[in-house]
Structures are given as C-alpha cells and as structure tokens.
Amino acid sequence: MKGYPRFASYLACSLILLLPLLSVTVFADEALNQEEPPRGTPTSHTNKHMKMFGIQGSGQFSTWETWTHAGQESESDESFSENNIPGQANSGGGKRTFAFAGSAPYPGVVRLDKNLPFSGDFTLTIDCPESQDTCTKDVRIDIMYGQSIIGSVNLGPSEGTTNYYEYNITHGLEIIEENVTLGVQIEFNKPHDFSGGYVLYLDNDFNLNVPALPPEIFVVEVPEGGSYESPYASMNSGFGEVDVDSYSIFSPIIWAISIIVVGVLLIVFTPGLAWKVPAILVTMVGLIISLSIMPVVVMNVPYDEAKLSKSIYTLDQLASLGNSNDQFLTGLNLNDEFQIWIPLDSVYSNKVDVNTSEGRDSMYVYGLGLDQYEDAFSDTSATSKYGLSKVQEFFSLLAIDPSEGHGVIIDVELVRKCSECSEVAPSWATTLDAFNQDVPTNETILVNIRNANSDIHVVPESAITVTNIDPTWLNTPLYSGIGAGILFLSIGGFLQYRASTVSLEWVEEEDEYEVD
C-alpha cells in the first residue's frame, strides 16, 4: 500500500510534463489542417493565361515547391535544373515529375468552351553529351482538375528546335466548379550521363491557356404566344413562396356588407335588451373601420400610376424601353436618379451563396414574382427583350423581406460599372475594373443562376423602402368597438335588471297598501 502514493505522484508528474508536449502536437496538427490562403490571381474569363512557378530547394526534387495561377509572381525561381555531379542530393538520372497545382481558386463558376483545347508551351533543355544527344526527350503533360487528371498528351520537341514544346489537350468540361483549381503536371526523364542534366524554365516560359468564356448575358425572353413566369416561381429554383397580403378591393366591400347585414339582423331579431341598438351600432362601426376602411387606406399606392412623373417608373414601363449605347436603357443616362414603384403580389425567398466585395458569403434573398405584370411582360409588342432582362437582372431580387408591406420603392442612381467601363448600371452593380468585371465592389451582391452561368444583382437594403405597411393600430377600432359594445350591453342589462327590481318592489308595496 505504501507504494501506491509514490506511484500516483510519479504518474501525476509525468502527466504534467507531457501536457506541454501534447499541446504543441495538437496546435501543430491544427496548423497543418488549416487551408492555405489563396496565392495569386484566380483563373477566369478575364485571366485565363496561367504560368508555372516554383522554388528549387536544396533537398530532393520531390520536395521542391511548385504552384500555378493566372498572375505575376515575384517569389518564383526562373527555372528548375539538375546535373549529375557526385554527392549532390539529386545526382543520377531517372524520371522527374513536377505537379504545378492551382494556388488561387476562383470563388465562382467559370464557363469553358469544350470545343477548344487547353493549350500551352514550355521550354525544357535536356543534355546528354556522353550519349551523343541520343537520350529520350519525350515529355508527358497532364491537365489537373483539382486532384484529378482530365487529359494528357505525350510529345517531343517542336519541329526545328530541341528544347521548345507546344501542347494541346482536348477535354469535355463545360465549367470549372466553384473553388476548384486547374494545374499542370509534367513528366520527363533526366539522362544518366556524367555531365548530363536538364533545365526546366518557369514563369513566362511555361504556360497554360484556359478556354474560359465570359458569363452568359442574362436574357429573359418570352416565347411567341407564351406567358411570362418568374424564375423564382419554378419548382427547381430552390425558392419558397412567402405569404403576402395581396391588393383587393373586394374583400373590404364583402366585409362591410356582411357586417351591416348581420348587424341589422341582430337589431331586428334579438330579444329586447336595453342599449342593444347602440351596442350593436358601435361594434359595427369598429368592425367596418378595421376590416373595410383601413385596408383600403393602407392599400392605396403612394403614387397614381396613371400620373407618374419622369423620375418615378413602374417595372412595365422600364421593360418597354430598348437598348441604347452608353445608356442603361433608352432615355436613362449616366448619373440619372429615379425611383421604381413595385406593388407586391407574390414573394419568394431562399438562402443562397453570393459573391460580395468581401468574398463568398451566404444570405437570404427575396425574389419578386411580378405576377401583376404578366400580361405586359408577355406582350412582345409592348415589352422589349432587353428591357425585361434588365428588370429581372437588377430589380427583381431584394436583400430584405418586403412582405410586411404591400409595396416597395427602389431608389436608383445610374453610374459607370467601373471607372474604365462604358457600361451604365445601378450603383449596386459596380465591379473592380474592366478586366475583373466579375469581382464586386461596394454594395454589389451577385447571385449565380442558370447553373452559375449568369448573375442576378441583389438590390441592397439601403436602396429599398417597404411601403403600405399595416399600422400597428389597425385592429384597435375592432377591439374598441367590441369592447364598447360589451360595455353598452352590460350597462343596458344592469339598468334593465335594476328597473325590473324596482318595479317588483313597487308592486309589493302597492299590494301591502291595498291590504291595509
């Protein structure tokens, strides 16, 4: 038994000594498991010329650092090279393989032209003087999609030279998926000659050209004889419908008629109660105010659509406008400011991934069904394809839930899409520059649609005013009328009871008087 305390002490001391080591191990594992931050310029339709980079270390060639992206690089060596000097880490011939993996994933989908190959060129000098230059100079090139190889080619030096290679590799890809990178793997043989070796040139001398396409131009086109349907209403869109109180003058009228009819019937056919008529009348007034008058007042649009001024538009008016150079739509120029009035009918919501100026994110967005414009949008003589596309692209998707009201006003300021761009767009549709038109700035938020081949711009909260909101006291007249009616009936009942009691006492007193 005496040995147990000593053993316990040794065990406790050992655990205390091991804790720092375990902590260091855990932190090291966490550091290894963390994803490396993007390095360089992502490949896109505006940056589709990739270069191979690397840093030659002092150890085995398999430990040398390699990477690729579509921009410039200051840290890369100009080349990889080896010879066969005895005692060096890489002395001796044999197969050499270098995998240049993509270091800068694009935060969206990149469209590819599957009819055009991946192409490129590189310079590789292979020397084998003792073999009288008869060593193999064949090279294998693989295109990597993430960690997978999607195409390969075996080739020799280009005609007329011994160290310049060109390659073309066919593929069947239509897109590069979000956050997936492309890369190149090269494989060749280093000669065994004592004075032999190789030099693989990097950077501008080792290239890959990606057949990337720009995003599709967003176009909404109603087929001949067809009818407009909101893209958010489709079962495959991922959007769900949000409850919205729609505009209708019939409901308040029906309520008013029903209340009056029921009130009259109650007055005529209910038993004779004191204060019955004022109780029913005050209740009717409260019900009519809340269920008939107030909904009509709330539903009144803030603008008379028949008398809209130049600075206030409806979506069917915008959809009727055509395309014009250096204008957003015909008649809408740079620096113009205007408002758009949209009465609500149907609203659809979904949590989606978005591109913002701060990177990739997810948020709830709210799509407008625009059902009230179905006839106008379906009329090809009154609606232009270009105007309808602009309406859908820039004004149909909101950053906030508008269903608490019955209408929306959007404030629009037209600006250049970027400082060098000639294209005019709303202030929430700006991009970094002409070469990075898929990189949002400021309040620009993009949602990918159509298998991420097109984008819709989200109208920011700062540009939205939800109108025709039901007042918090909407039902106050109803409750007040019911309360007043109950109060009147109570008072009437009390007075009627009091009167009947007094009458009985008077009758009894009369009877007693007659007896005397």
Give the CATH number, domain containing residue 189: 2.60.120
Q: Do 345 and 463 belong to one domain?
A: yes
CA distances to 6, 9, 22, 25, 43 from 19, in Å: 20, 16, 5, 10, 45
Q: Is residue 28 part of a domain?
A: no
Residue 278: the pLDDT is 85
Q: Is residue 135 part of a domain?
A: yes
Q: Do 71 and 158 belong to one domain?
A: yes
Q: Do 460 and 506 belong to one domain?
A: no
- Band the pLDDT of 339: cuts 50, 70, 90: very high
Greater pLDDT, 217 or 345? 345
Q: Do 488 and 458 belong to one domain?
A: no
Residue 10: the pLDDT is 44
pLDDT at 27 over 50: no
Residue 30: the pLDDT is 42
Residue 143: the pLDDT is 97
Q: Do 294 and 311 belong to one domain?
A: no
Q: Is residue 67 part of a domain?
A: yes
Q: Is residue 17 part of a domain?
A: no
Across 57-61, 70-74, 307-311, least confident range: 307-311
Residue 15: the pLDDT is 44
Across 13-17, 161-165, 239-243, least confident range: 13-17
Element spanning 391, H or E: helix 385-395
- Band the pLDDT of 294: cuts 50, 70, 90: confident
pLDDT at 483 over 60: yes
Its domain, for residue 271, covers 250-299+476-515
Q: Do 337 and 314 belong to one domain?
A: yes
Residue 233: the pLDDT is 85
Q: Do 456 and 510 belong to one domain?
A: no
pLDDT at 34 over 50: no
Residue 202: the pLDDT is 97
Q: Is residue 233 part of a domain?
A: no
Q: Is residue 226 part of a domain?
A: no
Domain total in the chain: 3
Greater pLDDT, 454 or 241? 241
Question: Which residues are within 8 A (CB) of 343 and not within 5 positions of it... i.e. 6 or more apart?
Answer: 247, 301, 372, 406, 407
Question: Which residues are within 8 A (CB) of 493 and not within 5 positions of it... i.e. 6 or more apart?
Answer: 273, 274
Q: What is the mean predicted confidence (pLDDT) over 324-334?
A: 89
DSSP β-ladder status, 347-356 and 446-449:
antiparallel
Residue 274: the pLDDT is 76
Greater pLDDT, 461 or 268? 461
Residue 76: the pLDDT is 96
Q: Do 353 and 454 belong to one domain?
A: yes
Do residues 120 and 207 touch, judged by C-beta distance below 8 A?
A: yes
pLDDT at 168 over 70: yes
Q: Is residue 218 part of a domain?
A: no
Q: Is residue 171 part of a domain?
A: yes
Do residues 399 and 445 touch, judged by C-beta distance below 8 A?
A: yes
Q: What is the CA radius of gyration of the chain?
A: 39
Residue after which a domain boundary falls, among 467, 488, 506: 467
Q: Do 98 and 172 belong to one domain?
A: yes
Q: Do 200 and 63 belong to one domain?
A: yes
Q: Do 461 and 488 belong to one domain?
A: no
Q: How far apart are CA 150 and CA 144, in angstroms?
A: 6
Q: What is the mean predicted confidence (pLDDT) over 303-319?
A: 73
Q: Do 328 and 461 belong to one domain?
A: yes
